[in-house]
Amino acid sequence: MKRLIFLHVVAILLLNACQNQAKQYPGPQKPNILFLLADDLGYGELGCYGQEVIQTPELDKLAKNGLRFTDFYAGNAVCSPSRAVLMTGKSSSYNTVRGNSGSFSDDRWMRVALKKDELTLGEMLKTAGYQTAFIGKWHLDDPKDISTWAYNRGFDYAVQEQWGSRFGGKQYDEQMHWINGKQDSVYYHIDEWECKDDFRTNLAFGYLDKIQRDKPFFLFMSFRAPHGHEYEIGNKEIYSEKGWPAAERLHAAKITLLDKQVGRLLNKLEEMGKLDNTLVVFTSDNGPHREGRGHDPEFFDSNGELKGIKRDLYEGGIRVPMIAFWKGKIVPEATTNYISGFQDLMPTLAEIAGINVPAQSNGTSIVPLLTGENQKEQDFLNWEFQLDGWSRKMPDGGFRQAARIGKWKGVRYGIMNETQLYNLNDDISETNNVAADHPEIVKQMNDIFEDKRAETPGFPDGGVVQDYKAKDKHP
C-alpha cells in the first residue's frame, strides 16, 4: 500500500512538472529581440499616433497588440547623437557623440565615433549568449576606420551603408551595402526593389534563415525611411492618384512602405515559430525633417501638436513614437504616459537578457512597466546638442539643452541665454513660457544643465575646446 501511495505521489509531481513546463515559451528561455528604428519619423506620422492620411496598418496593428508610449524620447534631435544614446545607454549630456560631426581646435570638422571602451548593445547582448545582427544606418563610426563599424562593435552580422566625403574621407556610394566591413558586398538597385527598406528586409530574411534555432537573436533593423535623402524609390505607383506635390508623395510612400516591411518581418518570425518568444520594439531616432527637395513637415502634420522638428530640443524634435510588443508579457491595447527615453533601453534589454546593467548606462530599466508591474518614476530626463557641424558656424555653436522633470520642460539655446519653461500638461505645444512664474523650477533646470553633464572632445560649446589630436581617437 505504501509503495502504491508513493508511486501515486510521484506521478502527481511529474504531471505537475509537465504542466508547469508547458506554460513556458517554446525555444530558448531568453526572448529574441527585434529592434526596429525609423529614420526621422515624426510623432504624428503613424495612424496610431493620430495620422489620418499616410497609411500605416502594420504598425497600427502592432500598437493595438502591444504597448504604445505617449511620452517617449529619442536620445537627441539628429541621427548620430541620438543613436549613440541608444547604443550605449548614456544620456546625451554624458555621451561621446553630441552632434552629427564634431569641431576641433585646429578647425577640423569630422564625424566622432564611439570610443572602444564604450559598450554597445551588440557587445552587451553578445556576452549574454545572443546572436547579433545589425542592418542599415550605423552613423557611429569613423568612415576610414573599419574597427569602428558595426561589425567590429558587437554584431556577428552587419550590413551598413557608408559615406564620408564631408569629413575628408572617400566618397562612398550610398547604394553599396558593406557586409561585415567588406567592400565587395551587396548593391542596392532602385529599380529592383520598392524602396531601400524592402532591400534591407530581404537581407534580414537571409540572416534569419541561417541563425541557430536553439540560441536567442538580437536583430537591429535601422531603416532608411522617411529620411529626406532617399530621393527616389522603386515603387512609383503608391499614392500616385493623390494630387500631392512630388516630395510629399515620396515622403508618404516611404512611410507606408516602411510599415509594409515591419509586417513582413513579423510574418517571417511567425512562420519561423519565433514571434511568440520575441520582444519587438519600434521607435524613431528623432522628430520629422524638413528635407528631401521640398518636403514640408506641416503638409501631413508630422509632429502633431508638438513644437519643433529635427534639430530642435522642443518636443517635436525629440518626442517620438514608441511601440513595444511581447506576447504573454505586455498587455495588448495598452497606452502609457510614463516618461522614458533611449538611455533606458540598454538597462531594459540587459534585464530581459538576464545580465547586469553596464555601469556606463545612466538609464532605468522599464521591464516592470512592460510587464505590468510598478515602475519607479524617473527624476528627470535631459538632452544636450551641438548643431554646429560640416563647417557650419552658428551663435554659441548652435549649443542647445533641454530637460524634463515630470510635467515641466526646460529649454535653453546657448549657455548664456535664459531658460524657457513650459508646463506640458497644459501646454504640450510649448507656446507659453512660464519661467517668470516658477523661478524655483527654472533653477532646477539650470542645475541639471550645468551639473548633469561632462565635457567631451569635439563638442566644446557647453564646455571647453579640446584638441582631438592630443588623444587616441578611439581608445
Percentage of the residues of the chain whose pLDDT score is greater than 90: 77
Gyration radius of the chain over CA positions: 23
Cα separation, 75 vs 93, in Å, equals: 10
Query: Residue 239 is placed in which grid cell?
Result: 499614392
Q: Which fold has domain 381-470?
A: Arylsulfatase, C-terminal domain (3.30.1120)
HSE-CB for 362 with a 13 A CA cutoff: 16
* Contact call for residues 199 and 187 (beta carbons, < 8 A): no
Cα separation, 402 vs 388, in Å, equals: 17
Relative to beta strand 322-325, strand 334-336 is unpaired
405 vs 185, residue with greater confidence? 405
pLDDT the model gives residue 397? 73
Look at residue 96 and give its three-state secondary structure.
Answer: coil
Cα separation, 135 vs 5, in Å, equals: 59
Phi, psi of 204 (to 5 degrees): -65, -40
pLDDT the model gives residue 285? 98
pLDDT the model gives residue 312? 97
- Look up the CATH number of domain 32-370: 3.40.720.10
* Contact call for residues 281 and 266 (beta carbons, < 8 A): no
Cα separation, 196 vs 223, in Å, equals: 8
Cell 551595402 belongs to 177
DSSP state of 158: E
Relative to beta strand 32-38, strand 420-423 is unpaired
Residue 28 CB: number of other CB atoms within 10 A?
A: 17
The amino acid sitting at 280 is V
* pLDDT, mean of residues 445-469: 76
The sign of the dihedral angle between the CA atoms of 336, 338, 343, 347 is negative
Look at residue 26 and give its three-state secondary structure.
Answer: coil
DSSP state of 358: P
Q: Where are the alpha helices (DSSP H) in 283-390?
A: 315-318, 345-353, 367-370
pLDDT the model gives residue 198? 98
The sign of the dihedral angle between the CA atoms of 399, 452, 383, 92 is positive
Domain ranges of the chain: 32-370, 381-470
Contacts of 440 (CB under 8 A, 6+ apart): none
Is the per-residue pLDDT at 469 higher than 50? no
Nearest to 63 by CA among 36, 31, 40: 36
Query: Residue 346 is placed in which grid cell?
Result: 540598454
Cα separation, 40 vs 286, in Å, equals: 5
Q: How do residues 20-77 score in pLDDT, each as one tens digit?
A: 333 333 344 899 999 999 999 999 999 999 999 999 999 999 999 999 999 999 999 9
For Cα atoms 297, 300, 306, give the angle at the middle one, nearest 5 degrees. 60
Q: How do residues 140-168 score in pLDDT, each as one tens digit?
A: 998 889 999 999 999 999 999 886 544 44
Percentage of the residues of the chain whose pLDDT score is greater than 70: 87
428 vs 171, residue with greater confidence? 428
* Contact call for residues 300 and 54 (beta carbons, < 8 A): yes
Contacts of 433 (CB under 8 A, 6+ apart): 420, 421, 422
Q: 457 falls in which pLDDT band (50, 70, 90)?
A: confident
Q: What is the pTM of this model?
A: 0.90
Look at residue 195 and give its three-state secondary structure.
Answer: coil
